[in-house]
Structure 1
Amino acid sequence: MLLENEALNVYQKYGYTLEKKMTNAYAFAFTKGLYNGVDILTDDKECEDAKKLQNEFNQIGYAVEFRNYQSVEDAENQLFKSFFSVPAVISGLKRKYNSFVEKVLKTLPEGAHYSYIKSPYEVCAYNQDSLIEKPVVGDSLVKFICNEMLRSSGPLLIILEAAAGYGKSCTAYEILNEMLNEKTTKLPFFTELSRDRTASIFKHVLHMEIENQFANKVDTKLVINEIENGRVPLIIDGFDELISKDFSFSSSQFESVENMLSTIVDLLKNNAKILITSRKTAIFNSEEFHNFMMDKEIQYKLYNIVLKEPQIDDWLEKDRKNLVMNLNFPLSQAANPVLLSYLRYSSEVELREIQTECSIVDKYFDFLLRREQVRQNLKIEPDEQMEIFKNFVRYMTDFDVRTFEKKFAKEIILEDESGILELSRLRYNPEERPRKDRLADLLTNHAFLDKKRDLNIGMVNDFILGTLVGYDLIEGVYEKYNPKYHQNLSQTMAVLAAEAFKAQPEEKQKKLWNVFSQEEFEYDPQFMFKIDFELNRKFSKKYENATISDFVVKGINVDEGCEFNSVTFTNVDFYDCSFNLKLFHKASFINCNFYKCSILNKSDEKDAVLFFSCGDTSIFENSNDNESVEEATVSLERRILGMYFKTGNTPRHRQISNIRKDLMGEFEPRLISKELHKLEVLEYIRLNGDLSFVTKKGISYFNSMVSGS
């Protein structure tokens, strides 16, 4: 039997009180539910003390259970299983996973079956000392994450990022499913966030989700406690949905997400395991975020995992890929899981129709719209359905939300689409003719839509949402209702449109590029850079004092029509590109790679382009990577190292691009690059892309400089 103090600690955590203790038995009472109950802890339920306690509490209406725990862990596991209704919660989570699978399948041809397709990825690991590790993941990222969430010791935060539509939610759900299939005493807690018209505070949302998953049967504080202890691994899908500002390309105004991050990081105690997914943002690779984590003084481990663009060979078997290629279909346009799934399961007849009739996007949308006509006996033509949902998405972008209450969505359709609804009614036989509100109900259950949190509805995936936003832009829908719409359309929605239109024919891509180029959108330079090479196939703007990060640029001639002044490129890979260096002025490349690239024109400027920690730069003459590192001034060395410390000599992370920017007015750019390179070679600083930190060796060296001055 457990000792009194051991039993007391465990039972008090679950809301019990020690009502009575005897030599060979203790009685713990729970009186907070509908029924009063008593657990009698004893080694022998037939002993006199146990019998006496049983009779005493039975007489006053308590339900009595005898318990004989072998250890504190045994007691905690049994109480956890009982209080958290583990079998019921697991069944609910399995239904949640199955509902997600059904949602995916409803956008695919008949006969499709669901299987998780692996994505290429990059992973970096940090600990409280800021040491960057390269973990051995093995064959399966899902199994690796699951194993870390269930079996590793100490606080763990995993951040899973990807561009819109690249499989974040699929991966999160697959991790959930893997956990549910494991033999473990741990119980995952899964929440899927979405942006609606309410000003959601994450702490409140988390508490509401706890109440929903555990059906109000468990006190929220107890759930939080078990999250911190690691018995309830936490999965948060869609962290970015509650962020009001778009951080796709910039981490400025980081303070606007600090409260939300603090709610998550404050849970990183004891043995907590937390996984969050998010669209690829600049937040999690910024000095602000990593310094924020260091300031928390938590003995944590952090994995930052980025899912990359899907590989066509992973989605299409050899025969299917050959069939598609023989039809001269531009496979490069289909590097999107939604379209790759459609190609994977479409019949040969359907594929030939794509070749002869329309683009794959048009065919995919037409397939969904016509299937809805059959599935719901919906006598609204595909082009009319498209008009309805383009208008629906216009409201979403006006409010800058991703979901609406179903009632509000129905009101939009009834008010704005009265003409289409009335025309549709006339297509039914009189005896089966539905009312308008019935048709509106059918449309709120459309394949384009999906149930979200709090009974809201939103678009079923980012690809459909982004495509409809793009259509509204190129067809002038926004301008029709608001000539100044470019002041209101969020960069988040613009990014979704640009991502989705990568699958469109070149003509439509050019139209969308024209819209973004001609209107006065106040977007980050990185967004304009993105649409330049992804939609226009060339650079045509003047970029100044900008940082361009995390791109893969293929087959672009960087020639007339653009200019790069004091631009810093970080983590950019260039493939088969040609450069006119006369267009570059004090441009810097940090941790960039150049594969099969060439030079069109050289520059006479000394510091036209500078390189730091890049791959092979031999095509660029006078590359500072290839020059010997001269002795820099002690003042510059000390200035740079000093930037890695805050008050009290606490080390901090810094972005190389920010260090260069801060020093540019005082020192020559080439000298700054040389000194940074020297500090890296001497292992005083370490880099992970643009992010860097001072090593223990660097700390000792800097302290010796300070003490010797």
Structure 2
Amino acid sequence: MDIKTGLVAAYRRYGFSLARDSARDDVLVFTLKTGYFDNAEIIKLGANSVTDDVFREFSAAGYACTVRDAKSPALAEEELFNGFFSVDSTRQRLLDDYRRFTSALVLPYGDKARYEYIKAPYHIDGKEGQKTPPEEVLSRIDEEKPILFLIEAAAGFGKTCTAQEISRLLVSNSKRLPLYAELSRNRQARIFRYILLDEIDRTFPLLSSSLVQTEIKNGRIAAILDGFDELLRKGEDSGDFENKEPMLETVSELLTGRAKVIITTRRTVLFDGDDFHKWLDRHEEDFSVVRIRIQEPKVNDWLPYERVERLKSSGLDVDAMANPVLLSYLRCIDDRSFNEAANEPETIVQSYFEYMLDRERARQDLRMTVHMQSDILRSIAKDMVVNGYTAEQRDYIVKLLLETSGKEIELARNQYATSDRPSREEIANKLASHALLDRNAAESTKIGFVNDFSLGNYVAEHISDSPEWLGDDLRFIEPAVKSYAPRAMSSRRSLFEGLSHSLPFLDERARIEISTQLIGMLPEDLANGAVEGVELSAIEVGASTIESFQFNEVIFKGCRFLKSGLTNVTFLNCRFFDCEVVQDNPVGPIYVLGGASSPDIGSCLSSSLNMDEDVPVESRGRTIERALLKRFWPAGDPITQKPSRPVYKPMKFLCQPVDGFTSAELYNGVGRLLKAGILIELNRSNLIALNAEAMSKAQLVFEGGV
């Protein structure tokens, strides 16, 4: 491409029209009409280009003219980008947004509190990370290929802080601009493509969305989509991939050229399911995926050594304090407040709420005791649980306060002098602007709790006070458990008993997490099920009988395994750290398949029953292989022909006991078929597929050969 063709293409991308291509004068003229102003760019293609006549002509026609020497198309496009996107002022605006965000996080803890991004542990593409998630993104931002960064973390564990930190690093340390899209502001919208366009128009209101998308694809703008999970409505993020695929296809349309798209989300079934991995494999040649999973924070990452030791000397289990909200409080408060909290370690969580409520009295001149504020916040949480919402219009919350807390509001009014006494509505509006309620500017019309830790505290109080409470909405149950996990055993057991009627209606993962976090034990009735991806610490596995159960990719830390309580239990690709096995009398088979252990307990933990001696081992192996291969033919397809479409199966599914075959036999059968090349393991998704180029070998297995 010659310089003239390149310049024409660059200017046209930015909306200019080619108004003059004069070979005689050796100039190009591009014009742009932007409302009231008409602009003309006169480009001198050579050292002797004559521009005087052209300048007079276009000036007389009402154009504001600028004469420039010709540059390479790349440099010209960079200048156009800097001008149209007002790069300097946009960087300053984004830095101001970052400062406002971080200041709001530490403001409740006093004027001297300072924000600092916490370097939480994380895994990147399955391996332990050595930098920080934002630094991992920045280190790859200049790569020529398109990359999708998928950053996953539990609720409250730093997704938005990470997204903001990535934005800051891009503004400060790269030539790129971030497009920061806070998707929670549009959670009521139904079509993701329009949500994205809204965010583009909000960030760059004077530019066309097509131009912004072009620069995303060129790599000059990195798209940060914060809170992708906010678009997954309750009940729709499990198994219904077809409804979510258009959202991901919209993302994939951006991932061309040198595009970088960063998605932050909680870990959901959408991003762990087989269909999502199939979607990734369909786009394997289109873009790369970097998957970052932020782990639970380590106390030592948040608190200085002196404060950690002070908590330990108080007899506190510091690992139980690993909640971001609680750690922020313990990190930011002054030494006097910290020592007061550490002196009562069993009530340290309560001290956080008392601290926040007491500060609220001064911040808003709210003449209301800590106890009265707690009662009011509990009534809001109760209404949320009963009516199934986590945020509502401000008018609704104010009306609710006037109806349910009229006595407390009237008592508060009487604390003011007659001349300064606010109205009931004014007191209700003060409460609606409470520090523990969401006053985010992006959700100015909505009121909800400021974080899940606060929501969970008051939901848990409601559950504990309600005889035979029954509910299955994890939006409320999970925060309640997280909020009570750092507390004394009496409080945790009280919440566990309050949830006891609800536990049978929850899935295995939820029941396991609730039981282990609240009472340090696995549920008593684990049978005929499976769980994946949880982390268990200091738990006795087998204290209550576990039967016909599969643990998939579970991390065990400091756990004790009682073999007498395990019957037909499989540990598939699990990791064991500092665990021990009690060598009592096993009553059923235990399979440890794949995974890692330090120290090695695999041989001690596994045990199996003798296979039927009347069935030859080789014959049984062929039968297993045939049973496995049949799973790769869609229903209705004859096994004598190539399958009508590709079928992918996760290892955890293939190893589930069926037709009298054990997990170990099926696992070994998959291994043999992989070794023979009949099955293949998809590199990026850990799924197993039939090798279309080895169909003749598969047919030999069905015929009894190989």
| Common fold by TM > 0.5 | yes
Measure how far apart 1:119 and its partner are.
Answer: 0.7
SS of the aligned residue for 2:221 comes to coil
Once residues 398 and 199 of structure 1 are traced to their aligned partners in structure 2, the CA distance between those partners, rounded to angstroms, is: 25
- Identity %, equivalent residues: 27
Contact 2:512 2:523 in 1 (8 A): no
Once residues 18 and 489 of structure 2 are traced to their aligned partners in structure 1, the CA distance between those partners, rounded to angstroms, is: 73
- The verdict on how the C-alpha distance between 1:409 and 1:201 changes in structure 2, with shifts beyond 3 A counting, is farther
Once residues 81 and 393 of structure 1 are traced to their aligned partners in structure 2, the CA distance between those partners, rounded to angstroms, is: 48
Aligned to 2:241: 254
Measure how far apart 1:196 and its partner are.
Answer: 7.5
Aligned to 1:426: 414
- The verdict on how the C-alpha distance between 1:139 and 1:294 changes in structure 2, with shifts beyond 3 A counting, is closer
Q: Which structure 2 residues correspond to residues 384-533 of structure 1 after superposition, within 5 A?
A: 384-397=372-385, 400-448=388-436, 449-457=438-446, 458-476=448-466, 486=471, 490-519=473-502, 522-533=505-516
Name whichever of 346-355 and 157-166 sits farther off: 346-355
Measure how far apart 1:521 and its partner are.
Answer: 6.4
Aligned to 1:56: 57
Structure 2, unaligned runs of 5 or more: 610-615, 635-641
Contact 1:651 1:694 in 2 (8 A): no
Q: Which amino acid aligns with 2:15?
A: G
Matched, 1:321 2:304: no
Normalised to the residue count of structure 1, the TM-score between the two structures is: 0.87
Measure how far apart 1:295 and its partner are.
Answer: 2.5
Measure how far apart 1:201 and its partner are.
Answer: 3.1
Contact 1:236 1:277 in 2 (8 A): yes
Measure how far apart 1:291 and its partner are.
Answer: 0.3
Once residues 194 and 521 of structure 1 are traced to their aligned partners in structure 2, the CA distance between those partners, rounded to angstroms, is: 32
TM-superposition CA deviations, 1:190-217 (whole Å, max 9, x none)? 1222277834432222222111111x20
Matched, 1:675 2:675: no
Q: Which structure 2 residues correspond to residues 374-385 of structure 1 after superposition, within 5 A?
A: 374-385=362-373
Aligned to 2:638: none
Aligned to 1:302: 289
Name whichever of 68-77 and 423-432 sits farther off: 68-77
Q: Which structure 2 residues correspond to residues 602-641 of structure 1 after superposition, within 5 A?
A: 602-605=585-588, 607-609=589-591, 611-615=593-597, 616=600, 617-622=602-607, 633-634=621-622, 636-637=624-625, 640=628
Contact 1:197 1:404 in 2 (8 A): no
SS of the aligned residue for 1:81 comes to helix
Measure how far apart 1:451 and its partner are.
Answer: 0.7
Matched, 1:188 2:178: yes
Once residues 12 and 399 of structure 1 are traced to their aligned partners in structure 2, the CA distance between those partners, rounded to angstroms, is: 54
Measure how far apart 1:363 and its partner are.
Answer: 0.3
TM-superposition CA deviations, 1:404-436 (whole Å, max 9, x none)? 444444344344433322221111111221223
Measure how far apart 1:531 and its partner are.
Answer: 0.9
Measure how far apart 1:377 and its partner are.
Answer: 1.1
Contact 2:651 2:687 in 1 (8 A): no
Measure how far apart 1:44 and its partner are.
Answer: 6.0
Aligned to 2:153: 162
- The verdict on how the C-alpha distance between 1:64 and 1:224 changes in structure 2, with shifts beyond 3 A counting, is same
- The verdict on how the C-alpha distance between 1:237 and 1:519 changes in structure 2, with shifts beyond 3 A counting, is same
Q: Which amino acid aligns with 2:169?
A: E
| C-alpha RMSD of matched pairs (Å) | 3.3
SS of the aligned residue for 1:497 comes to helix
Name whichever of 299-308 and 101-110 sits farther off: 101-110
SS of the aligned residue for 2:184 comes to coil
TM-superposition CA deviations, 1:467-488 (whole Å, max 9, x none)? 2322222233xx8xxx9862xx
Aligned to 1:130: none
Once residues 48 and 383 of structure 2 are traced to their aligned partners in structure 1, the CA distance between those partners, rounded to angstroms, is: 70
Q: Which amino acid aligns with 1:87?
A: D
- The verdict on how the C-alpha distance between 1:353 and 1:282 changes in structure 2, with shifts beyond 3 A counting, is same
SS of the aligned residue for 1:471 comes to helix
Measure how far apart 1:700 and its partner are.
Answer: 7.7
- The verdict on how the C-alpha distance between 1:288 and 1:444 changes in structure 2, with shifts beyond 3 A counting, is same
Aligned to 1:128: none
Aligned to 1:555: 538
Aligned to 1:131: none
Contact 1:194 1:402 in 2 (8 A): no
Matched, 1:589 2:568: no
Once residues 587 and 452 of structure 1 are traced to their aligned partners in structure 2, the CA distance between those partners, rounded to angstroms, is: 51
SS of the aligned residue for 2:495 comes to helix
SS of the aligned residue for 2:686 comes to strand
Normalised to the residue count of structure 2, the TM-score between the two structures is: 0.87
Contact 2:527 2:549 in 1 (8 A): yes
Aligned to 1:265: 252
Q: Which amino acid aligns with 2:131?
A: D
Measure how far apart 1:559 and its partner are.
Answer: 4.2
- The verdict on how the C-alpha distance between 1:253 and 1:546 changes in structure 2, with shifts beyond 3 A counting, is farther
Contact 1:195 1:403 in 2 (8 A): no
Aligned to 1:577: 559
SS of the aligned residue for 1:618 comes to helix
Once residues 396 and 218 of structure 1 are traced to their aligned partners in structure 2, the CA distance between those partners, rounded to angstroms, is: 41
- The verdict on how the C-alpha distance between 1:573 and 1:64 changes in structure 2, with shifts beyond 3 A counting, is same
- The higher relative CO (CA closer than 8 Å, separation ≥ 6) is in 1
Kindly tell me the number of residue pairs found equivalent between the two proteins: 677
Once residues 665 and 198 of structure 1 are traced to their aligned partners in structure 2, the CA distance between those partners, rounded to angstroms, is: 47
SS of the aligned residue for 1:283 comes to helix
- The verdict on how the C-alpha distance between 1:107 and 1:686 changes in structure 2, with shifts beyond 3 A counting, is farther
Measure how far apart 1:179 and its partner are.
Answer: 1.0
SS of the aligned residue for 1:434 comes to coil
